[in-house]
Structure 1
Amino acid sequence: MDDPERYHLTLTAAGRPVAHGWWPDETIARGKFLSWVGKYGAIPSAQFTLVDEIEALTLAVWPDQAQPASPPTPSAARPLHRLSERHRKQR
């Protein structure tokens, strides 16, 4: 059975959590990521992060810190990478 809290999506603004969501399916979670960015991306200092909690991987971040903020598109999500040791300790 899929873990219902495997994929965790977080919206923060001004460094504070605004909304969280959890899904058992990566495809659904990525769709929610794009949907949330489209709906709430205009919030000042909004940042969206999608994490695979089981694999300890950040799947997507918007806006990408390496690029200026842009409208959400599937290519706006960063490729998979391992969470830093510091981030794992915070969880």
Structure 2
Amino acid sequence: MHPDRYHVTLVLAGRPALHGWWGSEPIARAQFTGLVGRYGQPGTRITLVDEETGATLTEWPETS
């Protein structure tokens, strides 16, 4: 497993504010959830991407 496979990004008002990389999906998901709890407000975008596959695993706010 790649040590920085899971990438979480926080964008505030259209500007990148925070990036984090983890080798464990459960840890990356916990970090994602923490960011939503702390920064989840209008104008915020938070994503969790599997850098190995390129797939977006989850995002806030959710898009339909």
State the TM-score, normalized to the length of structure 2: 0.90
In 2, Cα distance between the equivalents of 1:25 and 1:55? 14
Instruction: Name the Cα RMSD after superposition.
Output: 1.1
State the TM-score, normalized to the length of structure 1: 0.66
> Hey, which of these two has a bigger chunk of strand by percent?
2
**Unpaired runs of at least 5, structure 1:** 67-91
Identity %: 52
SS in 2 for 1:61: strand
In 1, Cα distance between the equivalents of 2:59 and 2:11? 11
Runs of 4+ that moved beyond 2 A: none
Matched residues, number: 64
**Unpaired runs of at least 5, structure 2:** none
SS in 1 for 2:10: strand
CA-CA distance at 1:65 after TM superposition: 2.5
CA-CA distance at 1:13 after TM superposition: 1.4
> 2:49 matched to 1:51?
yes
State the structure with bigger RCO (CA 8 A, min sep 6), 1 or 2: 2
SS in 2 for 1:35: helix
